[in-house]
A and B are shown apart, each in its own frame.
Chain A
Amino acid sequence: MRVDVRKTYKLFIGGQFPRSESGRSYELLDAKGNFLANPALASRKDLRDAVVAARGVAEKWASASAFNRSQILYRVAEVMEGRREQFVSEVMAQEGVTKAQATKQVDAAIDLWVWYAGWCDKVPTIFGSTNPVSGSFYNFTTPEPVGVVAVFIDDNSSLLDIVHGVAPVLAGGNVVIAIANEEYPLCAITLSEVIATSDVPGGVVNVLTGRTEELAPWVASHMDIDGVDGSGVEPAAYETLKRDGADNLKRIYSFKAEGSPQRIISFMENKTVWHPIGI
């Protein structure tokens, strides 16, 4: 008989896996009510550290070519494929579904990731434009990433919702601070291990596990966060989030659980360039 190798679930900040600065963790139960894990309970200072890490690489990620970002995101899907069994067992444990159902969700998650990888270099083409202006100018509009985006992961599913939240924001060239759903943190942690071993630069994706209601006010008021996906926030708290986030004109949205380029373009802003003709 072998002794169990128990896993310590940590946060993912700036490419590292630190414990919470607060030293706290919480007890996670599986679908049947048995003990499953002790994930870290992130504090507002962990959030602050994550923002600093994210801001530090925001420019680098935004200035990578769309093609390069696309390749890197595809690489993440490749590594997810290699971790398929781990994802399946985590989905089963957390949601209490059958192996077939869990496998279906993992397949869908990896496919969705590939789908968003493909979007990287299509976004400027489809959502940008050349504008007919009166005067001797070429006039272009191209979407550009806003910067640091915090994503509150929804609780419709334990893995697919994470991909719904994180992948589109990355595809647009933004850096992400994902706040995992309190009930379903395991796949978020495993995904951060996937990302750490892909070619994603450290700090581009940061994952915090903990309580949404504790972190939401700090996310909303943080002046260095440019956008928030509030899909995982309760409706009442979502209104507060929008009000508190008004101070630095954050883009705050909530989405349905489906793949859509709208999720990419929501966290981009249009830049218009006037270029003189014939000089």
Chain B
Amino acid sequence: MLLTDSSESSIKSFLKNLSPVDQVGADARAAMLATRSIKTSSKLWAIDTAISMIDLTTLEGADTPGKVTALCTKAVRPDPSDNSVPHVGAVCVYNDMVKVAREHLDNNGGKEIPVAAVSTAFPSGRASLDVKKQDTEDAIASGATEIDMVIDRGAFLSGNLEKVFTEIVCIKEICGDRAHLKVILETGELVTYDNVRRASFLAMAAGADFIKTSTGKVSPAATAPVVLVMLEAVRDYYAMTGKKIGVKPAGGIRTTKDAIKQLVLVNETAGPDWLDPKLFRIGASALLNDLLMQRMKMKSGQYSGRNYVTLD
């Protein structure tokens, strides 16, 4: 076991013993991997894989039941004119929209698509533990089978690691076997790659099934070097414990090119086992249309346009 107990001192000594991240090296490696060329034959596979990994997301204050049901319809059949397009990995919505999404998916051929709820006072994480627990309980009761929780960045940055750890453990307890737990690190607020690595290990040790880069409300979000650092953390954690933890970059991935770069990072860092919606997801909304347009281009040989995909 990694930790002897969940006390502040044992968490601190565990994280202190982690190898530091070479910032220049991480930037350079991510930039190098971004230049990989993908041949046409692999590209179609990559596009379909990326579609099946998308957590199709809408997290706006202006979300309506109509918008959420439209999103769910799209999740089941991303391209109504083409049956061969796979369905997306999950639908990700705010807590109160979980029920709407779940019912619409069940009634429209999307039973196998999970609904993810953002929880624990998303996006800031500024609430008491009781509120966060209740938030999570509500989401699961409404039918969410994946919980995207945010960590308390303020506590993490001020060194109050036990608080962060305990919160994740509590939420994991509530999730139990009923829901997958994704822990959002909000890397844009963690300042350094070392912090990203520490937060990744902290979340994994506390019981996260997935670690996720960002809420999508803070910029920068899922930059390539940050995803690389998290994938390395996952790889190292697997080597230590034999447990495979998933990674979910979210925010700022808008084009097919970006998505394929992410897949290259996954393959070259964590390994091909992670090229699976069970272990890698991409949190996005606009990305899906770009993937569909690229797919149309590959099938028909002519460039497509935004008139041929849905407006979101």
- Give residues in A with beta carbon < 8 Å to B: 48, 51, 55, 218, 221-225, 247-248
Contact = CB atoms under 8 A, between A and B. Distances in A.
A221 B304 CA distance: 9
Contacts of A51: 303, 305
Given A224-B304, A248-B307, 4 more contacts: A221-B301, A223-B305, A224-B303, A224-B305
Which of B305, B306, B308 has the most chain A CB within a 10 Å cutoff? B305
Nearest to A222: B303
Contact of B307 (A48, A218, A224): A224
Interface residues of B, number: 8
A224 B302 contact: no
Interface in B254-312: 301-308
Contact of A218 (B303, B305, B306): B303
A60 to B, nearest CB: 15
Contacts of B303: 48, 51, 218, 221-224
A223 B306 CA distance: 9
Contacts of A218: 302-303
Nearest to B296: A223
Nearest to A220: B302
B305 to A, nearest CB: 3
A225 B305 CA distance: 8
A55 B307 CA distance: 11
19 contacts: A48-B303, A51-B303, A51-B305, A55-B306, A221-B302, A222-B302, A222-B303, A222-B305, A223-B302, A223-B303, A223-B305, A223-B308, A224-B303, A224-B304, A224-B305, A224-B306, A224-B307, A225-B305, A248-B305
A247 B301 CA distance: 13
Contacts of B308: 223
Contacts of B306: 55, 224
Contacts of B301: 221
Nearest to A225: B305
A194 B296 CA distance: 37
Contacts of A221: 301-303
B103 to A, nearest CB: 35
A157 B250 CA distance: 52
A101 to B, nearest CB: 41
A247 B304 CA distance: 11
Which of A55, A218, A223, A247 has the most chain B CB within a 10 Å cutoff? A223
Contacts of B307: 223-224, 248
A263 to B, nearest CB: 24
Q: Which 6 A-B pairs have the closest CB atoms?
A: A224-B305, A221-B302, A223-B305, A222-B303, A223-B304, A48-B303
A225 B307 CA distance: 11
Contacts of A55: 305-306
B301 to A, nearest CB: 7
A223 B297 CA distance: 10
A222 B302 CA distance: 6
A221 B300 CA distance: 10
A223 B305 CA distance: 5
Contacts of A225: 305
